[in-house]
């Protein structure tokens, strides 16, 4: 099967960012990081339908770039299982950066007790298993953004 998309991944993400921004242009944004494009887009749509502005990244390197260049990012939601930089590696990089205090929520479809313990040692807000409970996610996000 061929991908006949005329947009590059970067162009698609930029377009997504513009399309998903709520009309109110909330000053705080959520960064969603997942190497699964569909998972990223679903989470972004859920948040945007609830007037939460978000942007997405396909991996740790692009996420770190966005965190360094966009001070409006107030919350990070990341998948756990990604390649080459998994979610725990990304969180460690964030915790060692000037954004060390950023609240982080992990979402994962494949996690074990060791992963949860490692995540809690990295001071994450919560660890949610896929399929995501939308109400729980929205409650956490709104609380962390001061919207609750």
- In this predicted structure, what is the pLDDT of residue 4? 55
At residue 113, does pLDDT exceed 60? yes
Mean pLDDT within 9-17: 70
> Could you tell me what percent of the chain has a pLDDT over 90?
61
Cα torsion through 118, 120, 122, 126, rounded to 10: 120
- In this predicted structure, what is the pLDDT of residue 24? 46
- In this predicted structure, what is the pLDDT of residue 5? 61
CA distance to 13, 20, 61, per residue, from 40 (Å) = 10, 12, 16
In tens, the pLDDT along 33-86 reads 999 999 999 999 999 999 999 999 999 999 999 999 999 999 999 999 888 888
């Amino acid at each position: 099967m061929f991908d006949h998309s005329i947009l590059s991944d970067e162009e698609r993400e930029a377009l997504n960012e513009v399309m998903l921004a709520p009309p109110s242009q909330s000053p705080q944004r959520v960064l969603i990081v997942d190497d699964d494009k569909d998972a990223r887009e679903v989470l972004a749509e859920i948040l945007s339908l609830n007037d939460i502005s978000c942007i997405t990244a396909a991996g740790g390197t692009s996420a770190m770039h966005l965190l360094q260049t966009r001070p409006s990012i107030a919350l990070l939601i990341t998948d756990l299982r990604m390649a080459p930089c998994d979610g725990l590696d990304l969180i460690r990089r964030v915790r060692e950066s000037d954004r060390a205090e950023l609240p982080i929520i992990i979402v994962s479809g494949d996690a074990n007790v060791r992963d949860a313990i490692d995540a809690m040692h990295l001071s994450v807000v919560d660890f949610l298993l896929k399929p995501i409970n939308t109400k729980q996610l929205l409650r956490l996000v709104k609380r962390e953004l001061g919207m609750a």
